[in-house]
Structure 1
Amino acid sequence: MDRFNCILNDTEYIYYLKRNKKFEKDRKFCKHNLKHFLDVARIAQLINLEESLGFNKEIIYTTAILHDIGKSLQYENGTPHEISSWEISKEILHNYRYNEEEIEIIKQGILGHRDKKSENFAQLMYRADKLSRLCISCKSIDECNWGDEKKNFKIYY
């Protein structure tokens, strides 16, 4: 997973991670930070293994650390964060020699992670993203704009 760790240390990646932190400094709801990204990665990998989906672990982890990296641009100019995250990710992925097939899978995961009706790899990322949120213990649950159907009220094991 050398490429994955290279991304974590990439100057542009760190820049956008810090932007997310800055824009969410006073946010009382779920944050879009490295902890969230790694929670998504670990949950996705568990689902991948438990359901024998056959997705590559490095691709899962890479997608997870990139799926919300553009969130600050949504705050700044309204660009949906799956779009801005994909735009940021394209160059980073090429810089670390991900091949076109890998990039296409990652693209599907990033662009589809907010779509309940997504399929295949994107559906895995959607599920992991939602399961990563611990709504059941959130102090701000009553103020959250997520509908109850989106909130995670259970711990799945």
Structure 2
Amino acid sequence: MMLETANRILKNSTFRLKLEELEELEKERIFCGHGLEHLLAVARMTMLICIERGITADEDIVYSAALLHDIGRVEEYTQGLHHETVGAETAQRILSEVGCGSKKAEKIIGIIRSHRSEGDKADTLEAVFYEADKKSRMCSFCKAQDECNWPYEKRNKNIEV
């Protein structure tokens, strides 16, 4: 499996700078973080769910979207903007910098823009990505459980795919 775009994103200076900024902003955060571990967990879980459900997914699109889906959190924390919107703009710039084709970039941007809503159909890549993003946390081991504002019934208490 060749993840050409995703690997270019990992080497991109804009991406790396944004990820460093995000990690700095979250270094004192007691809740779930949005660093590289989370980004890769979302990609891997998305692919597992797609395989399990027989949904065709391009690995490079999934990994690229996962790497970029929370990149707008910097502006969310510093300016109060919606991270999926501003993140899509930053992702567009990064995708252009890494030479991603327009059709592939459009799909990646669509996933980023929609990753905060469940969507209407459970069998779409966007819906699976949303689900993977939510399932990528193990709430039952979180040290901030008592302060978390996630409804108890939505918390991940078991390993699921």
TM-score (norm 2): 0.91
- Report how far residue 117 of structure 1 moved: 2.8
Alignment partner, residue 7 of structure 1: 9
Q: Which residues of 2 match residues 115-134 of structure 1 at below 5 A?
A: 115-117=117-119, 119=121, 120-134=124-138
For residues 112 and 28 of structure 1, what CA distance do their matches in structure 2 show? 26
Q: Give a deviation string over 1:26-80, Cα, whole Å, max 9, x none.
A: 0011001000000001000111111111010110000000000111110101111
For residues 4 and 150 of structure 2, what CA distance do their matches in structure 1 show? 36
Q: Which runs of 5+ in 1 are unaligned?
A: none
Q: Which amino acid aligns with 2:140?
A: I
Alignment partner, residue 81 of structure 2: 79
- Report how far residue 101 of structure 1 moved: 2.0
For residues 123 and 40 of structure 1, what CA distance do their matches in structure 2 show? 12
Mapped contact 2:72–2:84 kept (Cα < 8 A): yes
Aligned length: 157
Q: Percent identity?
A: 36
> CA RMSD, aligned part only?
1.3
Q: Which runs of 5+ in 2 are unaligned?
A: none
Structure number with greater CO (CA < 8 Å, separation at least 6) is 2
TM-score (norm 1): 0.94
Q: Give a deviation string over 1:82-120, Cα, whole Å, max 9, x none.
A: 112111100111222322221221112111111123552
